[in-house]
Chain A
């Protein structure tokens, strides 16, 4: 099945008995006809899409929970809400969630998407957080055309209610999987710039700054010797019997595989030890 889809991790040699056969991880989301509508593959297996992000892709819209951490802007004509979607603040290295910026425009108003003629202000969203919180490029919804015959111009606009989503994930600096969380919340600053117009006149361009706090919480992981030292809360279920069965099955199928695996590990651990020694000499 993995081979049929062409996503076998082909950097792991067939002789690597304990790892060979794993896929490049990823997700396909299909419609009712089984046709792929979205797919998610990343440059590293550490980036994993949150369940909410996948459900949004299947639904084609973002369903925000009432208790999502959020902040609301001050413009009465353009209501702007910034919210973190899913997870109730739980955070883990590499898990991709979305910062959702929801625009609710008064009837008759529109905001501009790119490209805009000189002098007009396109809608932009920028987000920032503490070191180790990585924000990706904003995902913009499709625009509608707006034809201005008098100026012989066609503009791209949004109206009504629409969302701009900014996927984000923590790296090891903020929420490592190998040490406990060292803070219990993360501030997120969102800057939204836009200009609202109706078919005849424009309001002044505005910059809204929204601040929200993401309360951080750990997640449960199975109790497993090889994960000792992870910063997450160990749950009451024990992963050891499963891992033991997996190892035995792999070793039975490739009796020499374990030796090769151990050999590779010794070589890599030595290389890591040399790197550590070099860096401690350089710094100290």
Chain B
């Protein structure tokens, strides 16, 4: 498997130009802004239980992470 370093200095075990290596284009939207209420969502957790974001965080602060692989 080809290993190449990108223009920012990061190595990955995939050739440059691989669709898995593309980054966020400058100026691309990044969802809700600072100061906005995060839109509610309902998703299953790791045990299949339904989680209602705003109701189930029970007035606690929250960190919502969108990630693309859990190998880190």
Interface residues of A (CB under 8 A from B): 1-2, 4-7, 9, 11-13, 16, 19, 22-39, 41-46, 48, 54-55, 57-58, 92-95, 132, 134, 171-173, 176-179, 219, 221-222, 224, 226-227, 229-230, 239, 264-265, 268-269, 271-273, 275
Least CB distance from B41 to A in Å reads: 5
Least CB distance from A177 to B in Å reads: 6
Bound-state CA distance A94–B66 (Å) is 16
Bound-state CA distance A93–B6 (Å) is 13
Which residues of chain B come closer than 8 Å to A37, judged between CB atoms? Answer: 34
Contact pick for B3, options A36, A39, A229, A268, CB 8 Å? A229
Smallest CB-CB separation from A11: which chain B residue? B22
Q: Is the interface of B mostly helix, strand, loop or mixed?
A: loop
Bound-state CA distance A222–B1 (Å) is 19
Contact pick for A7, options B60, B61, B66, CB 8 Å? B66
In the complex, the answer to whether A272 meets B2 with C-beta atoms within 8 Å is yes
In the complex, the answer to whether B38 meets A177 with C-beta atoms within 8 Å is no
With an 8 Å Cβ cutoff, the count of chain B residues facing the other chain is: 53
A221-B71, A227-B71 known; A36+B38 contact, CB < 8 A: yes
User: Please, could you name 14 A-B residue pairs with CB atoms under 8 Å apart, sorted by A?
Assistant: A7-B66, A30-B64, A36-B35, A36-B38, A38-B34, A45-B23, A55-B63, A58-B63, A132-B9, A171-B8, A172-B9, A178-B12, A227-B71, A271-B15
Which residues of chain B come closer than 8 Å to A32, judged between CB atoms? Answer: 59-61
Chain B 30-47 interface 0/1 with A at a Cβ cutoff of 8 Å (1 = within): 111111111101010000
Bound-state CA distance A9–B23 (Å) is 9
Interface residues of B (CB under 8 A from A): 1-6, 8-20, 22-26, 28-39, 41, 43, 53-54, 57, 59-68, 71-72
Contact pick for B20, options A19, A23, A229, A275, CB 8 Å? A19
Least CB distance from B28 to A in Å reads: 7
Least CB distance from B40 to A in Å reads: 8
A32-B59, A44-B6, A272-B4 known; A25+B68 contact, CB < 8 A: yes
Which residues of chain A come closer than 8 Å to B57, judged between CB atoms? Answer: 34
Bound-state CA distance A13–B22 (Å) is 12
Q: Can you name 10 extra interface pairs (CB under 8 A) apart from A39-B32, A92-B72?
A: A4-B41, A7-B31, A24-B24, A30-B38, A35-B35, A36-B32, A37-B34, A172-B9, A269-B2, A273-B2
Least CB distance from B18 to A in Å reads: 5
Bound-state CA distance A42–B2 (Å) is 25
Which residues of chain A come closer than 8 Å to B54, judged between CB atoms? Answer: 34
A25-B67, A221-B71 known; A4+B39 contact, CB < 8 A: yes
Bound-state CA distance A11–B28 (Å) is 11
In the complex, the answer to whether A178 meets B68 with C-beta atoms within 8 Å is no
